[in-house]
Structure 1
Amino acid sequence: MNTSTANISVTKVTNSRLAEVDFDNLTFGSTFTDHMFVCDFKDGAWHNPAIVPYGPLTISPAAKVFHYGQAVFEGMKAYKDDNGEVFLFRPEQNFERINKSSKRMAIPEFPRDIFFEALHKLLDLDKGWVQSGVGNSLYIRPFAMATQVGVSASPSDEYKFIILLSPVKAYYTGDVRVTIAQKYSRSADGGVGAAKAAGNYGAQFYPTNLAREKGFQQVVWTDSNEHKYLEEAGTMNVFFRINDTLITAPTSDRILDGITRKSVISLAERAGIDVDVRRLAVSELVDAANNGSLKEIFGSGTAAVISPVSAFGYNDKVYDLQKQDDSYATKFKQQLMDIQYNRSEDPFGWRYPIAND
């Protein structure tokens, strides 16, 4: 267990909104719990960590986050098992990654002790919002943003770090259809593609809208230089099963070091499945689809866990994928969720218990 001496003040809500929530009809990321965590960076240090009632912020329209995009975030989940115990999944990885993202965006790194103390106290206060049952979870959104007032093009001297909690159900229901990018790019060499910077996601919305107009839900991004190699799928890492080998792109300064991605690789290797971490050319994928050796494509990420792909489009042609009786996507999703919901052994030590105070 992680402990902390961080002095986090707590202001509780007078009346909880929990009884008003219809947990059977949630829109992902639109409902928030009673409390949130806030902490401010000023004069070279983080100050006044506090848990307060969830609510609006007062912020200047001249805050630098609005003008220069200094903002990073993470995505995590809390799960409740059948005995009412609450668990996180590999939270150390999220903590390390948000600080890596912050460093790339010239945002001060956040202290580990305050981060974990905030998670513990928030989840203890709002544990009633974590619903048991597979498919239910509490999405956790830590983020940092520049708050210094001024429109000069320079890094901010002031920041706000916040953690929000949102009860959710499945992000995607069913398989998705994807199209392979041939014009637009998610990231470029030397850029911020490996950081969870807010602007990375805003830049995806327009080409994704174009894809949806053609009947696809997501875009499989390719390299920005030649659009020759497959990199990510929407906001997820992506895996390709050719024959019985699982292929995924190596991480780089263009590709996010996904926590679910790393977990899938570990599960596959433990099962004796060949994992090939290498660049996969679009031409190789099309050839595999044509000769029948392409068995599966699936995305991996915190929100969706694993999202199977039913078809991909390229050069105005759609390639349908047949469902596999021994689907890797189905197997790994089940194994991951069994660990997350404390329904199986955890040979990797990924499950992180939140003690009930």
Structure 2
Amino acid sequence: MGGRRRNIGTEERRSRLALRQRLAPQARAVTPEEVAGSLVALHGTDPATVYLAVGARLADAVRTVAEGERALYEERTLVRMHGMRHTVFVFPTGLAAVVHASTGLTIAVKARAALVKDMVTGSEGRLTAEWLSEVEASALAALARRGQATVAELTRDEPRLKERFTYGAGRSYEAEQTVSSRLMRVLGVEGRVVRGRPLGAWTSSQFRWAVAPPHPVLPTDAAQRELLRHWLAACGPATEADLKWWTGWKLTDVRRALAAIGAVPVTVDGGATAYVTAEDTEPVQSPAGPWAALLPGLDPTAMGWQERDWYLSPGLRPALFDGSGNVGPTVWWNGRVVGGWARRPDGEVVWRLLETAGLGREERSVIGAEADRLGSWLAGTPVTPRFRTPLEKELSA
């Protein structure tokens, strides 16, 4: 692209975020599938995040749980599986092959090699790679017969899953591990099994397993191009650092994919080079009016970019992040994080502003209405983030 690069300033980036991340009222979705398609991926490490992230973006939030369970467990239009950075996400089922080929295959090879090494070493050679092949074939056959099953149910069909080995013998982190716990994670990364319906309510982290639905095997380069195209359409402009962090790829893979899709370089406020798709170079209009949102911990918008200063002031991070870099529940106003929220044991949704500039009575009223909207569809369901942050702990006490 010749000539001077277009600058996409912070205000336009926030407008893009509001509309493409379906946060402004006029951009809200009708179904969870629309939300997931717009965001590419919903963080699934904390089961509640999936529903809370969808509910924040649905026009009819009251039906969040029913619609989410329909998509995940009845029609299977959404699938919970391992994706970028060895993390569990919820994707549109149509992207499963793309995610697996673009990010899962490399991780899977390393995960299986580590399991075999740890298992053989930790059992003093009693458990071998050949033995593992027999066990996993038997376990997958049992899972296919059952349709969905917990690990406990599978071990009744294949007792060898209960075998144990010592991980990190002689080291400070030495621990006993079962074959089942490690094997199911490896099979998940390999795209051979997916999470099924939870044992409890929608907030439960105890899942059944199911055989992964069949999907085509794609060339890695083609899959990386497709995933990058989807993500830039949702989150562009993004820097190479953003893309490398979000995908978990090597920088050379990011650059190759950017070149292959003809991504267009632009600048963002501060002077950094970022990229958008070739179809996305025109200015984006602001939302129709001011907006507020209460997003959950690990929300894909709050965690969407590595470089976050344009929507999250560095001074807010100590209160809103845990020690491992996981974001907690956040309050948003017009495309920037201004505070956090929590749910108390009595069911009340409480929030606090950490930035108050420009937020008077009218603006606080809009934020309060969003808190009421969230509380109404939660309807008494207890929700505690898996990764707790200082502000969330304080507010929920």
Please give the range of the TM-score, normalised by the shorter of the 2 chains: under 0.3
More strand by share: 1
Structure number with greater Rg is 2
Q: TM-score, normalised by structure 1?
A: 0.24
Q: TM-score, normalised by structure 2?
A: 0.22
